[in-house]
């Protein structure tokens, strides 16, 4: 059953859907509550704030794609190279993060 579910081509795209919505939610909440202006008054630069968001979600994507890769290799792609498939998933996940930041801006 897991192999059939993971074999659906839309499954990989749907696994990263909550990341886009959470990025958009957190960044828009940050702007609505004016946390960004408060952090600017305390001396935080915009680039430091953007890098903190990027580092947080890239790190989160590292763990998500690692465990997704294990599921795909065990149930679906038994003869595939673990590292190459993980890199493809990781780059896709990071492009989803940039999409989420674009939607939130």
Residue-range domain boundaries for the chain: 2-104
CB 102 within 8 A of CB 27: no
Q: What pLDDT sits at residue 7?
A: 60
pTM of the predicted structure, to 2 decimals: 0.69
- Tens-digit pLDDT string for the chain (105 aa): 555 665 666 666 667 777 777 777 887 888 888 888 888 888 988 888 888 888 888 898 898 889 888 888 887 778 888 899 899 888 988 888 887 777 776
Q: Collapsing DSSP states into helix, strand and coil, what is residue 45?
A: coil
Closest to 100 (Cα-Cα) out of 40, 60, 47: 60
pLDDT for res 10:
65
Distance of CA 101 to the CA centre of its chain: 10
SS3 content of the chain, % helix, strand, coil (to 5): 85, 0, 15
Give the model's pLDDT for residue 2. Answer: 58
């Amino acid at each position: 059953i897991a192999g059939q579910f993971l074999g659906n081509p839309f499954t990989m795209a749907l696994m990263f859907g909550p990341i886009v919505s959470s990025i958009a939610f957190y960044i828009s909440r940050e702007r609505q509550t004016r946390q960004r202006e408060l952090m600017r008054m305390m001396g935080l630069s915009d680039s430091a704030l953007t890098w903190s968001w990027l580092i947080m979600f890239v790190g989160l994507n590292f763990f998500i794609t690692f465990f997704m890769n294990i599921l795909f290799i065990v149930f679906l792609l038994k003869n595939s190279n673990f590292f190459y498939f993980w890199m493809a998933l990781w780059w896709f996940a990071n492009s989803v993060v940039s999409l989420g930041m674009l939607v939130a801006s």
